Structure 1
Amino acid sequence: MEKLIQTVELNSSSTSSDNYHPNVQLTSFSGNQTNCNNIVFNVSVSTPGQTSGSVNIIGYRTLVNLLPSIPNMNLNSIVMSTVMQNSSLAKEIAINFSLINERPPDYEMLCVFWNFSTMTWSDEGCYWNKTSSNEQMICICNHLTSFSTLMSKSPIELPYLDQITYVGLAASVSSLIVCLVIEFMVWNTVVKSNVSHFRHTALVNISLCLLMGDTVFLVNSFYQSPKWCGTFTVIKHFCYLSMFFWMLCLSTMLLHQLIFVFHQMRKKVYLTISISIGYVCPLIIVLLTYKIYNDGAEDVYYNAKSCWLNYKSPFNGSIHAFIFPVLTIVLINFFSMMVVITKLLRPQVSEGSKGDQKEMAKSILKAIVFLTPVFGITWILGFFVLVFDLTEGFWAYFILPSQSTP
């Protein structure tokens, strides 16, 4: 291996004319040049600033298949050697690699060179320019030798994310069971009007959907079976969607009770509409998503590692069959809450029979205002983890300190 790499370096320094072959391409330039940019195998090498002397750049398309990798990392570009003769490098060299495999979100990249002292790849003196795209990678190095890129075999994760998930799910499941037990024990005591009946019916169904979804999520965390992964994804997709649709039923019921005071909804009508919205609508969304994404195929409908809906990029992936309905419901609920607050603050000439209704609405509104930020924190955190690449920006300084740009 050492002789192979040294031969690469020797060929780079001894050849002075451009050569293009199926597996080897070489380009060179000489003389004083500024901002030089040369390309071999769609990989460009630039030297910002003033560069003098002779510069040879040679790319080996298949050499990457013969070289060792780093544990948990894969070589993901050609090998590029840059050698200067009787020249001076102004500051640093920038290499724009075309990646063999596109980099998915949250996958770490390393700019590396072959270290003859340790006979391994090393990233010392090189860093990854985070402005690179998922198909290309810009490496900045302050020295010259044989370069390549490495990509992690699995995505990086936030520290202690699994532990936080297990503790949170266990606490959620326990609390929901206690909530449902208390709800059934005091049902006859607290349900004394249509408004209270509608409210507690929605709360019970919200708790049931969340309990079932969290239970399946927790079971799936400890029992990871490829055979059941698709089934777990379908169940979680349906349960969490149903939970949000029942939240929609709760907010629209509150809005209806305050606006249409003299046209109160009957229990049978409310149950029919709520069940249709709370269970039928999410079922249709889940079935259509399952069918559209290749009948629930792995890595198309669901991610085999997480047993959850697949995400590829913004507006691309089955996860959007969950995100878009949830965002729509959140916006509708926010609008409903603003209308209810305006209605409650508006002075009335005659309260009449609306006094009890308004007091009930106030109590519901207080619960919503208090619980929304508490229970929304985990969803907001999940949204940011989903949308933002953990290898870039704010996250990288905490998760990838070694790869932070100088």
Structure 2
Amino acid sequence: MADAEGKATEAVEDVDEVEEVEEEEGGDVVNVSPPGLVGLLKSPQVLAAVQERLDFLQGAPSGYIQSLPKSVKRRIKALKKLQFEAAKIEAEFYKEVHDLECKYASLYTPLFDKRKDVVTAAKEPTDEECDWPSDDEKEEKDDEDVKNKIKIDDAEKAEEKTDNEGADVKGIPGFWLTVFKNVEMLSEMIQDHDEPILNCLQDVKVKFSEVESTMGFVLEFYFETNDFFTNTVLTKHYTMKSEPDETDPFSFEGPEIVKCEGCQIDWKKGKNVTVKTIKKKQKHKGRGTTRTVTKTVQNDSFFNFFSPPTVPEGEEEDMDEDLEALLAADFEIGHFIRDRIVPRAVLYFTGEALENDDDFDEEGEEEDGEDGEYDEDADPDYNPQSDSQKPEECKQQ
């Protein structure tokens, strides 16, 4: 902002210089100033500097509240107390919503259990259970010329051949791995060495906390017997609260996750993908000799999700910014798995849910700027240095 003020100051100084020069040449002071000023204000650099200064002033307090009489300020305090009471009522509303989630979770459970049975080949669905129009059938109904272009007999034979070729395939292979890889925030976490393990994932469930005065949920990941760890279930506990913060009560916007806790993974020998061994050379300062030291460090892996960073009790306000960002990202992923992925897993598997998400994002982008154009100057998170660090092929995309 100092740069913006400096530019604005320089602009004013430039105007003074133009006026002084024209006065020394004997011109009429009344007539010479406007042309010089108009020309200067047409400069993009000057306009940008002035706009930055105006943007800065826009958010500055006007002093109106401070100028009000004491009796009016007293009434404002009454309004704030009412606002606080409203926030407490809102908190109770969300607690009841959580109770409803717990109630309806039991109704979803039988459906999700059937989904698991189909995915894992524990049960083959009946013809009645499979009575749902496929995308191909919809296209055939919409296109009246399909039957003229394709011979029905040949199509049936091809379909029968395909069915016979896949007769030995059980369930839906790679169901949850495909779901996770189709979701950008999860696919970024998945490494090549994670995929064989996630292929063993059979189900993901959400269990809501039904303990009175406690809000939260547990994500449960069910695995078949595998060569990597002995656990059959991996869990992630999220603790939530729905009450205004005493130190900042008006920031309340609904339930928020305040803590998460993972679980211990009992890795089989040599199968822990969350760590890797590196060799590092060390040089002795006195003798000048070198030695090779083997060190175990953390490795990028989806399964680090079950070892979230912890915040000591009472130190929430003094959290490091990096730690706070990690926790925020972890909370966002937990919410997304609970609210979107588990209830609509098949739609993320087919990609239909992704299309709906894209449509929603596009609508939001149109509201940000005219004609949907990106304005880097209006983006507070824009970092010009990041562009210079991108490979050439990325810049051309």
Q: Pick the TM interval, shorter chain.
A: under 0.3
Higher strand proportion (structure 1 or 2): 1
User: Highest CA radius of gyration, 1 or 2?
Assistant: 2
Please report the TM-score for the alignment, with normalisation by the length of structure 1.
Answer: 0.26
